[in-house]
Structure formats: structure tokens, C-alpha cells
Amino acid sequence: MIRRAMGQEAVILHTRRVRGPGIRGWFGRPWVEVLAAADEPAPAVKTAFTPAPTPGRAPPVSIKAPAAPVSAAVATPVAADAVPAFSHPVLGAGRLRRRLTTLEAGIPGTGAAPRPTNGLQDRLVAAGMSSAAASAWVDAAVALGDASVKGMGQALRNLCLPPAPVAPGHRRVVALVGPTGAGKTTTAAKLAAQAVLEGRRAAFITADNFRVYGQEQLQAYAGVLGVPALAASSPDEMGRAVRELAVAELLVIDTAGHNHRDVRAMAALKSLLAAAQPDMTLLVLAAPTDREELLAQCKAYDRVNFNGFCFTKLDEVSRYGGLLDVLFTVRRPVHYLCTGQDVPEDLELADAQWFLRRIWPESGDGA
Ligand SMILES: Nc1nc2c(ncn2[C@@H]2O[C@H](COP(=O)(O)OP(=O)(O)O)[C@@H](O)[C@H]2O)c(=O)[nH]1
Ligand SMILES: [Mg+2]
């Protein structure tokens, strides 16, 4: 393909497997990035370029010399054992090197100057991140022009976003989706309780029709908070419940946790959410979950178009690599962090500092 596009003399300088953009890229087939160079049209000057003979090697072959002058380093005779074993059939060494430098300068991560990672990536891998996601984080900091702990902090801040405040007189409908036991119902209760404590009107809709306990659990919280809670098990019921609770300034929809590999259950959840039209659909993920499993959950819930995360059970782990992998792989923001079972206090607005303090405790709050 390269020869067809660039001519018979094109040479492949570098190939690497990369991921396509976004979540689909992560889960889809890898792409192949190819860096190729082709000879510029140049006057057809033929000269013989013969490297100094290397003992014990096959006699050097005459090759076409580049039209441009070769660099001094290559043209000057050097000690036989230091002669580079250059035998490229098309380009002279100096020219090839010059092109590599020019071409690679334009490609992120392959520039002539080594990527200034300052051991940042190693620290992230030690914190439990995969090297691919750690590298994506370092790249994000490099793209912001600051490959230091401070730049890393900025890159993370772009993905740890507290939700925008709700303007007075407006309401917000938040749906919580996620695997069973992730902490959806507890988080729903925390969100509503905090709203009530701030003097806002809150209400629940429970779509957890698979488990009687799921509904009862939320009804119990609703009773304590003195807020209405309706159950909805079909899109019609959901539409009706949302209309009925139109006065609530915060409407929290708690959904059933199901096996995310169950395609039918996911389709049912999707139509329930379509009827509710939530402003925010948060995927609730529990920190003590294996990294690959977290990514599989993201992939499954991508079908319901979640637009941000709520991370729970952060109090139960000491390494956060899996969740950070999720952020830098899926690239959707986390809005809430849950750090315990207590309602409502163990719910915090997402804050990059929370993670940074744990990864770089020595950097204080300057990260
Ligand atoms: N340690 C800890 N436990 C939590 C947290 N959030 C929820 N839980 C507990 O996890 C269990 C399952 O929570 P639940 O809200 O019923 O999960 P759901 O199935 O997703 O609705 C309960 O025992 C909760 O008390 C958290 O942030 N930290
Ligand atoms: Mg529940």
C-alpha cells in the first residue's frame, strides 16, 4: 500500500500498533501506524559510495549516493569497526537520518528528543495502572506542554470534574447504572440526602424491579428523607414517573444491577433510560474491581450512553490504578467519589487532588 501511495522507492521507516480514538478504539481492532519516506525527485547523479571495508564482513556493495551532500559524520573515514553497517538500497545514510529526524519530529512520542517522562510513567504503573493507560496520561500531560507532576495533575483535572451546579429554578435528572453491588442505591441515597440537606427538593425513581430488596432499600431511604419514590418497570411507567415528579429539583433514578453480559437486560435498561431522558447517566464502578473487569463493564454500559462515572468503595482499596486506567482509556469524566457506606457523608465531588495526593504524596497539594 505504501509503494502504491508513494512510489516504488518508498521505504517503511517505522511501524507500530496503536489504538483508534475513543472507547471504540480501545475495544476495537488495533490500527497500524506506518511511517514511510519516499525519495524526493532529485537530479539523477550517480556516484559510488563505498564504506570503509569492515574486517570479516562481506565486501561492501556500491550503492546510489544521495543527491544532497552526505553528512560529514558519514563521509569522513573513521575506524573500521565504528563504520555503521549501513547498506540501505535506496537512501544514503546521511539523507535517511536527516529525513528520520524531520519526519519523526512531527510524530508525538517518536521525536528525536526522548519523551520527558521523568519516571512519571513508572510511578503510575507502580500505582496499578497498565503501561498503556499510564502512557496515555503522560501523553496528555505532554500535550498540555508540561511533563511534570504538575502537568499530570492538570491532565487528570480534565477528567475529574465535579458536576456543574444546577441553576436556580432548573432541575437535574441523574440516572445511576452499573453492575450489581457497585453501590448504586447507596449513591442514590447519598445524592438525594445531600440535596435535601441543602434545602433542595429531591425524589427517587427506582427501576430496580429485578430485586424486591432493591426497591425496598430505596423506599426505606425515601421514608427517612421524606422524599417521594416511585417504581418504574417499563418505559411507559418511567415516562409517567418522571412527569409526576416534575417538581423535584434533583430526581435520582436508581436502576437494577444486572449481569452486564446479558444483552437483553441491557436493551431493556436502554429503553427505560430513553423514556427518562436523564441529564446525567453515571456508570457506578466499585474500586475493588479488577482492571479488565472494569473495562468490560465500561464496554457493556457504553450501550446505554453513560456520560460520566461515579467511583465507589474507594475506602476499600489502596491502589487506584484500575479506575485511573478507566479514565484514561474511556476518557469520560468522573463526577463523584464514594469513600464509605455512610449516607450522606461518604460522597465527595470528584477531585483530581484526591488521586494525586495518593500517587505523589511528596508533592504536597501543588500537583
Ligand atoms: N465500603 C464501601 N461500601 C459501599 C460504598 N458504596 C456502597 N457500599 C456498600 O456496597 C453494598 C452494595 O451497595 P448497593 O448500593 O446496594 O449496590 P447496588 O447493587 O449497586 O445498588 C452495600 O453494602 C453498601 O453499603 C462505598 O463507597 N464504600
Ligand atoms: Mg441497588
DSSP 8-state assignment for residue 226: T
pLDDT bracket for residue 241 (50, 70, 90): very high
Average the pLDDT over 9-31 and give the result: 65
Same-domain status, 101 and 230? no
The answer to whether position 133 is within a domain reads no
State the distance between the two ends of the chain, measured CA to CA, in whole angstroms: 46
The response to whether residue 297 sits with its C-beta less than 6 Å from ligand 1 reads no
Q: Which helix (H) or strand (E) holds 93?
A: helix 93-105
Same-domain status, 197 and 103? no
Strand 63-64 to strand 250-255: parallel, antiparallel, or no bridges (unpaired)?
Answer: unpaired
The answer to whether position 259 is within a domain reads yes
* Diameter of the chain measured on Cα atoms: 91
pLDDT bracket for residue 263 (50, 70, 90): confident
The residue out of 81, 98, 114 marking a domain boundary is 114
Q: Are 318 and 163 in contact (CB under 8 A)?
A: no
Same-domain status, 320 and 179? yes
Q: 96 lies in which domain range?
A: 2-114
| C-alpha cell read off for 87 | 547498506
pLDDT at 167: 84
For residue 355, give the amino acid letter. Answer: F
| 120 has pLDDT over 80 | yes
Beta-strand (E) ranges in 19-144? 31-37, 48-49, 63-64
Q: Are 270 and 304 in contact (CB under 8 A)?
A: yes
Same-domain status, 88 and 212? no
Percent of the chain with pLDDT over 70: 67
Same-domain status, 293 and 223? yes
- The full 3-state SS of 279-297, as one line of letters, equals CEEEEEEECCCCHHHHHHH
pLDDT bracket for residue 23 (50, 70, 90): low
The answer to whether position 126 is within a domain reads no
- Arithmetic mean of pLDDT over the chain: 79
The response to whether residue 183 sits with its C-beta less than 6 Å from ligand 1 reads yes
pLDDT at 316: 96
pTM reported for the whole predicted model: 0.71
**Atom from ligand 1 closest to the CA of residue 316:** 1
Give the tens place of pLDDT for each residue, 278-335. 999 999 999 999 999 999 999 999 999 999 999 999 999 998 999 999 999 999 999 9
pLDDT bracket for residue 168 (50, 70, 90): confident
Question: Ligand 1, atom 6: nearest CA belongs to which residue?
Answer: 183
The residue out of 114, 138, 160 marking a domain boundary is 114
| C-alpha cell read off for 307 | 456520560
Q: Give the Cβ contact number of residue 52 at 10 Å.
A: 12
Q: Measured between alpha carbons, how far is 222 from 238 in angstroms, rounded to an integer?
A: 18
pLDDT at 63: 36
Count of alpha carbons within 13 angstroms of residue 229, beta-carbon side: 25
The answer to whether position 240 is within a domain reads yes
Q: Which helix (H) or strand (E) holds 252?
A: strand 250-255
The response to whether residue 346 sits with its C-beta less than 6 Å from ligand 1 reads yes
Same-domain status, 183 and 307? yes
The answer to whether position 77 is within a domain reads yes
Q: Measured between alpha carbons, how far is 251 from 205 in angstroms, rounded to an integer?
A: 7
The response to whether residue 198 sits with its C-beta less than 6 Å from ligand 1 reads no
Same-domain status, 20 and 105? yes
User: Which of 12-21, 114-123, 187-196, 202-211 has the least mean pLDDT?
Assistant: 12-21
Q: Are 89 and 35 in contact (CB under 8 A)?
A: no
Give the tens place of pLDDT for each residue, 38-94. 665 544 433 343 333 444 444 333 333 333 433 333 333 334 444 344 344 444 555
Same-domain status, 108 and 214? no
Strand 48-49 to strand 63-64: parallel, antiparallel, or no bridges (unpaired)?
Answer: antiparallel
| C-alpha cell read off for 35 | 511511517
What residue has cell string 525527485? Answer: 41
| 150 has pLDDT over 70 | yes
* Burial class (CB within 10 angstroms; exposed 0-12, middle 13-18, buried 19+) of 199: exposed
The answer to whether position 139 is within a domain reads no
The response to whether residue 312 sits with its C-beta less than 6 Å from ligand 1 reads yes
Q: Measured between alpha carbons, how far is 298 from 285 in angstroms, rounded to an integer?
A: 9
Helix (H, G, I), strand (E, B) or coil at 81: helix
Give the tens place of pLDDT for each residue, 192-239. 999 999 999 999 999 865 555 667 888 899 999 999 999 998 999 999
What residue has cell string 549501513? Answer: 86
Q: Measured between alpha carbons, how far is 306 from 236 in angstroms, rounded to an integer?
A: 21
Q: How far is the CA of 40 from the centre of ligand 2 (A)?
A: 65
pLDDT bracket for residue 269 (50, 70, 90): very high
pLDDT bracket for residue 26 (50, 70, 90): low
Same-domain status, 110 and 177? no
Domain count, the chain: 2
Helix (H, G, I), strand (E, B) or coil at 14: strand
The answer to whether position 45 is within a domain reads yes
pLDDT bracket for residue 137 (50, 70, 90): very high
Q: How far is the CA of 267 from the centre of ligand 1 (A)?
A: 25
Question: Ligand 1, atom 10: nearest CA belongs to which residue?
Answer: 183
The answer to whether position 227 is within a domain reads yes
Average the pLDDT over 33-40 and give the result: 62
Same-domain status, 100 and 192? no
Same-domain status, 60 and 198? no
Q: How far is the CA of 185 from the centre of ligand 1 (A)?
A: 7
Domain CATH for 318: 3.40.50.300
Q: Measured between alpha carbons, how far is 102 from 100 in angstroms, rounded to an integer?
A: 6
Count of alpha carbons within 13 angstroms of residue 170, beta-carbon side: 8
Same-domain status, 185 and 265? yes
DSSP for 311-323 reads EE-GGG-S--HHH
